[in-house]
Structure 1
Amino acid sequence: MATDGAAKVTAIDHVGIAVPDLDEAIAFYQETFGLVLAATEVNEEQGVREAMLRAPGDDGSGTAIQLLAPLTPDSTIAKFLGKRGPGLQQLAYRVENVDEASDAIRGKGIELLYAEPKHGTENSRVQFIHPKSTGGVLVELVQPAEH
């Protein structure tokens, strides 16, 4: 049960993995684990080309794997790859309202990366919590788009 003033997470939305070559990574996850490509898109603002993969039969409510490849050499993902190499980049929690969740987190004195939530994958709204506030893990808060 969430305590009063908590961000009110409803699920683990996805795990983000930084990759140097998106097409190669998609093929690997499909051929090795049988995951199904649910969506691909380019997010210019965040400097990434990305793909969401899901388990066969997942209606979109389960946890996804998000593959993130850099669009430019100065993007956040390119810098991550240059510093750490390919691998786990973020853990994303699903929330019903990213504005309320951001306010709750900020109210605890925890550092967010953005003043306001941004556009995310599949028209979601997202906010990130700085890794220094979460034991070294980049945490994303995701409010899925209403369908």
Structure 2
Amino acid sequence: MTGRGIPGAVAVHHVAYTVPDLDQAVEFFTEVIGAELAYTLVQDAAGDWMTRKLDVDATATARIAMLRLGPVTNLELFEYAAPDQRRQLPRNSDWGGHHLAIHVADVDAAAEYLRAQPGVRVLGDPETITDGPIAGDRWVYFATPWGMQLELINLPAGAPFEQQTEVRLYQPEGSWSDHRGAS
């Protein structure tokens, strides 16, 4: 035990993204990506709760959905209504820029599937990294109908970086459908 890190931390519980239309995002993640909807709720607190707890305008409201993506990832989606809301998505190069990477068995087949989905934009063709710490990684980015960027990735076990460290990245087994309803 090194004494570093958050005491008692056992796992990442979820990642969260703010979306412009919660219904559209839930439909996209469940119907196109294959997530399962766990629950929805509305956060409409009185007083300054929203400012104190979420660092947003005190009058902001939020519709929230929690989804399950495969065996280990929970995805929380927020749709805020706030008077000072910025409505421009950050680019990956902007501070706060982000993307969600989905490990797939076949990047090319997944990219082809996404190209056929209405409103989805696949950013170029899949590429394989040929040298460096993640040689063998095959990947391509895509954008949702509202512009959020995601990545398809297949980084096989045994990447070159593993020769330099004992750290291993999570390697999924089976498909998401193998884990439906699993806890």
TM range (shorter): 0.3 to 0.5
Largest Rg, 1 or 2:
2
Higher relative contact order (CA 8 A, sep 6+): 1
The structure that is helix-richer by fraction is 1
The normalised TM-score by structure 1 is 0.44
The normalised TM-score by structure 2 is 0.37
The structure that is strand-richer by fraction is 1
